[in-house]
Structure 1
Amino acid sequence: MKKQQDLDALKQSLATFNLIAGVDEVGRGPLVGDVVTAAVILDPEKPIFGLTDSKKLSEKKREEFAELIKQNALSWSIGRATPIEIDELNILQATMLAMQRAVEGLTIQPEYVLVDGNRLPKWQYTADAVIKGDALFPQISAASIIAKVARDHEMVALHEQYPQYGFASHKGYPTKAHLEALEQHGPLSCYRQSFKPVKAALMQWHGELQNEVN
């Protein structure tokens, strides 16, 4: 994490910019679905009070904030990388790609970009990475909320298609219940095949199919 004097200096330098985009991701750990990122440029004339790291908010509060952000931000955008891209690139590089897509999707060119975490995508924007930035900068907080709500909605929609996997409750993360469902029902096409539990389940299912053939 940046030292306090570094954070103070960053905040001071940001005072000279009006169009600051915050960027965050959700979904690096799950076994299924896209890694989802968001970029948000808040309107300094329409401050939204109470923004913080999405993980610290209840689902109801996240939903309320997401609507406020969409209504009041100067621009917001969602970027994503698919399970196929995650398997091809690895989760870190796929996350960087999704972040690029989120910023490129903004209708306004940001003057500065703040990214949650400790590394930046390779891009032309003036930017800074801030560990735990989603609790320190409202722009990143807003991005974390937008990304989290979007991905959670996708997991609920997937649950409606495949209720036996329990996606609405675990959101794709490798909980005990999820791993049991994966073992029992096998991986769907939206699973990340390079992730160890999915790879193991695929081998198990291919082995059982082979036994049936023989």
Structure 2
Amino acid sequence: MCFISFSLAKRRALFNSTQVFEAGAQHFDYRHRNRQWKVTMDLCEFEADNSVSCRLASAIPDVCKTEDCCLGIDEAGRGPVLGPMVYGICFCPVAKKEDLKDLKVADSKTLTEAQREDLFRKLDEAKSFVGWALQILSPNTISTSMLQRSKYNLNALSHDAAIGLVQFALDSGVQLKEVFVDTVGPAEKYQEKLSQWFPGVEVTVRPKADSLFPIVSAASICAKVARDHSVKDWNFPEDLGEVDADYGSGYPNDPKTKAWLLKELDPVFGYPQFVRFSWSTTQTLLDSKAVTVHWDDDEEDGEKAAARQNNTSMLSYFKAGSKTSAQQSNTHQTHRFFTERRLQSLVTL
């Protein structure tokens, strides 16, 4: 994987490999409590294996398959060190834009949790003309992508999530004519990139698009509700026993998040997959509080460093023409673990 040159085949493979399931009305639990409706988003598919990405989608309204539609894209959870990042799309017929305004959707960051839940309920009730889909990118997906040898940074990951969701809508039969996006990186370059991917679709990329276009605000609300529920109900697959759930918002500057990171740090194994290992916050804590580990491939002269410590680098075992055990014995002393068990290096099979 790479940056802008990330191939179409790889992109499709990435998003075809994610879990995909449809969430209609049957996946929501409405309860009347103190004269307020509470909506609960069902994330059971993601919770079953939160180490991988997952796609959640509503039913596609019939009208969206026959009329020209607009679509908004936004995300939730880009900055936190804890939990997933969720990309969301929301779409409706262009002729229904005013009806969407009547729902009084707004940028999710300006709303309380209760207001977001209420607006999400209204969006789901408007399923005759409103559809949505989410791509939940697990912390593990984010970390492994950013830390792999061929760097796949957060902007590229975000772009590909957005492109994958737009393609999902098109493949589902949505007649897209307009796409509105909250920018990631330079707006002009991102708009040009999306326009090249989706010729025939009018693409508008703007900073703060979630406060400018109601369809983007709706996408923002869907993404934020999913992010909030996944973090609150996080299932720790590491079987850690009782884990303190008071970890705050997950942002690095949140005092509760800072305290939780210090408390839950294991000096050998680090953190559970709930934590993004690729964040500098995590790396700083591991460097200062965890046991020091030397990795040969972290340094260009890894083998030289190993030689200085009178050790054999792991990399040397993968080189052609490796020395025989007799030759090796002349250059360094074999560890007693091997001598006591009469183990020798295998040269040929």
Same fold (TM over 0.5): yes
Instruction: Map residues 44-55 of structure 1 onto 2, 5 A cutoff.
Output: 44-45=95-96, 46-47=99-100, 48-55=102-109
C-alpha distance after superposition, 1:2-24 (max 9, x if no partner):
xxxxxxxxxxxxxxx94010100
Structure 1 counterpart of 2:280, from 196, 203, 206: 196
Aligned residue for 1:207, secondary structure, equals: coil
What is the distance in 1 between the residues matched to 2:176 and 2:74?
15
Q: Are the aligned partners of 1:77 and 1:103 in contact in 2 as well (CA < 8 Å)? A: no
Structure 2 counterpart of 1:173, from 251, 256, 265: 251
Instruction: Map residues 118-137 of structure 1 onto 2, 5 A cutoff.
Output: 118=187, 119-120=190-191, 122=194, 123-124=197-198, 125-137=201-213
C-alpha distance after superposition, 1:84-143 (max 9, x if no partner):
442322222221122123223333242121001233464325311011111111100100
Decide which moves more: 145-154 or 66-75: 66-75
Aligned sequence identity (%): 27
Partner of 2:326: none
Question: Are residues 1:91 and 2:91 paired?
Answer: no
Q: Are the aligned partners of 1:36 and 1:147 in contact in 2 as well (CA < 8 Å)? A: yes
Q: Are the aligned partners of 2:140 and 2:273 in contact in 1 as well (CA < 8 Å)? A: no
Q: CA deviation at 1:30?
A: 0.4
Structure 2 counterpart of 1:164, from 220, 244, 264: 244
Structure 2 counterpart of 1:115, from 145, 158, 181: 181
Aligned residue for 2:257, secondary structure, equals: helix
Q: Are the aligned partners of 1:81 and 1:97 in contact in 2 as well (CA < 8 Å)? A: no
Aligned residue for 1:188, secondary structure, equals: coil
TM-aligned CA distance change 1:162 to 1:36, over 3 Å: farther
Structure with more contact order per residue of length (Cα contacts < 8 Å, sep ≥ 6): 1
TM-aligned CA distance change 1:32 to 1:70, over 3 Å: same
What is the distance in 1 between the residues matched to 2:122 and 2:88?
15
Question: Are residues 1:41 and 2:91 paired?
Answer: yes
Q: CA RMSD in A?
A: 2.6
TM-score by length of 1: 0.78
Aligned residue for 2:234, secondary structure, equals: helix
TM-score by length of 2: 0.50
What is the distance in 2 between the residues matched to 1:163 and 1:105?
37
C-alpha distance after superposition, 1:55-94 (max 9, x if no partner):
1111111101111112314321101333344232222222
What is the distance in 1 between the residues matched to 2:135 and 2:167?
9
Structure having the higher Rg: 2
Decide which moves more: 116-125 or 133-142: 116-125
Structure 2: runs of 5+ lacking an equivalent: 1-66, 146-151, 266-270, 295-349
Runs (4 or more) in structure 1 with deviation over 6 Å come to 159-162
